[in-house]
Amino acid sequence: MSRQVAQHFPRARRGLGRRTITALLIVPLLMGAFAGHVIAPQAAYADQLSDARAQQKALVAKIAQEKAQIAALNASQASLSGQISQTKQQLDGITANLAATRQQVASLTADLKAVQAQYASLVASLADLDAQLTSIEAQEAATRTQLGQHQAELAARIQVAYEDQRTSMLETLLSGASFTDMLAAMSTQLDAATQDQQLAQQVASDQATLLSLHQTVSDTRGQTDLLRQQVAVQGQALNRRISDLAAATKRLKALEAAAAASLAQQNAAYAKMASNKAALAKALAKAAAAQKALQKKIDAIIAAQARRGGIPSQYSGTLIWPMSGAVTQDFGCTGFWAEPPYGNCAHYHNGIDLVAPYGTPVRAAGAGRVVYVGWNYADGANPAWIVIIAHSGSLSTWYAHMQARYPVRAGDWVSQGQVIGYEGSTGHSTGAHLHWMVEYNGAFVNPRLFI
């Protein structure tokens, strides 16, 4: 340095130059030391995103569970519908065992309650899913607000840093500040940089969390709307099951009442007849003999028509029930002592009694030739109105206690299911019912063998 130049610089400035050189040597060391204090992203930022993704995964599992519940409920409804339909068909046809049907209806009622519980659980699960989705939507709104705040804060800090044009460490040293002042300035600058870095990381984390929450809401809302429609369909189907079962229960109660009334009438009539057992036994014997004579006469008529070719020589069909209703007395040995004895039975019922509302149409159990329509005078002074149809030379069906009407006449050919009369209470009857008999090879047999 020349003397002229040196004169322009005071001695103190020359000393500052030496400090500057020393500080410049120290700066890299300090920068390395402070660099180690840069704070990594806080775990809380990562936790928010992890929580959002965990919620998304939980909702996916919840929707899958809801779909499985709907599938299970649909299967239960299909099974219940089939069982109720079968029960209604039984009630509309022949109810031979009302006690068994009552147990079946009770079982269906229990099954219906189980299906109702399934539906209630499904509705509750859907409500819980909606609540979770509402909570996530609230989180999305809060995260969007937080993101805006953090973005505004970061922008402000960047603007301040730009405007302030923070003093560099070299300028701090050259200004003659002490070493302690230099360290304090460097620490302040590094702290500010660290805070800016953390804030930028927070903004990035908020953006990722918001994206995850928004995707979760978008994916889930459409699926929950579809699930809600499916649940509504299940609810409508369940209401139909409830209505169908209520109708079946009502029908069962009506049949039980009709059967009970018919049995009460029969028991009252038998009790009245029992007051004179001797006269009853004589009347039964007379009636049995007269019926046997009538049976022989009918057999002769059938044989004569068979010889003329008016009756099929071989029965080739299957009989059907002639009337729907409840079975009040079956074929065979019975506890009703008013029935006549037969074989090893003290009291024997040679047909099946069916009870339905008075006037119910009676139909031909099979196709054949009507061989007799009229009063069964074998009953004595109070005969029953009967129709007899020959289905072949060895098979015929008898329909007794009907109203004295002529839907068909002797000699007519009838098809299976054709109306041949109407339920009545003629003859020795304890109430409106049909006494149906099947004669095969000259003997009355169990009609159920031909149904």
Q: Distance between CA 286 and CA 378 in Å, rounded?
A: 8
Grouping H, G, I as helix, E, B as strand and the rest as coil, residue 96 is coil
Please check whether residue 90 is in contact with residue 321, taking contact to mean a CB–CB distance below 8 angstroms. Answer: no
Burial of 432 (0-12, 13-18, 19+ CB in 10 A): buried
What does the pLDDT read at residue 163? 61
Measured at the alpha carbon of residue 315, what is the angle toward residues 310 and 320, in degrees to the nearest 5?
110
- Can you give the length of the chain in residues? 451
Phi, psi of 412 (to 5 degrees): -70, 145
What does the pLDDT read at residue 30? 39
Give the CA distances from residue 39 to residues 36, 142, 188, 190, 441, in Å, rounded to whole numbers and listed in that order.
8, 26, 15, 11, 108
**What pLDDT digit, counting tens, does each position of 315-329 carry?**
446 799 999 989 988
Q: Distance between CA 281 and CA 288 in Å, rounded?
A: 10
**What pLDDT digit, counting tens, does each position of 416-445 carry?**
999 999 999 998 888 899 999 999 988 888
Tokens of 10: 């005071």
- Residue holding tokens 């003999």? 289
Q: How many CB atoms lie within 10 A of CB 247?
A: 13
What does the pLDDT read at residue 110? 85
Flag residues of the chain having pLDDT under 50. 1-42, 313-316
14-262: CATH, from 1.10.10, 3.10.350, 1.20.1260, 1.10.8 = 1.20.1260
Domain boundaries, the chain: 14-262, 309-450
What does the pLDDT read at residue 39? 39
Residues facing 395 on adjacent strands? 440
Q: Distance between CA 445 and CA 394 in Å, rounded?
A: 12
Report which secondary-structure segment, H or E, holds 116.
helix 98-164
Report which residue type is found at 42: Q
Query: Furthest-apart CA pair in the chain: how many Å?
Result: 169
Q: Distance between CA 39 and CA 54 in Å, rounded?
A: 27
- Residue holding tokens 């080739």? 316
Grouping H, G, I as helix, E, B as strand and the rest as coil, residue 1 is coil
Q: Which segments of 274-336 does DSSP mark as H helices, in order? A: 277-307
- Residue holding tokens 């930028």? 200
Grouping H, G, I as helix, E, B as strand and the rest as coil, residue 90 is helix
In this structure, what DSSP letter does residue 442 have? T
Specify the CATH number of the domain 309-450: 2.70.70.10
Report which secondary-structure segment, H or E, holds 275.
none
What does the pLDDT read at residue 330? 87
DSSP 354-371: EE-STT-EEE-SSSEEEE
Residues facing 362 on adjacent strands? 421
Q: What is the pTM of this model?
A: 0.51
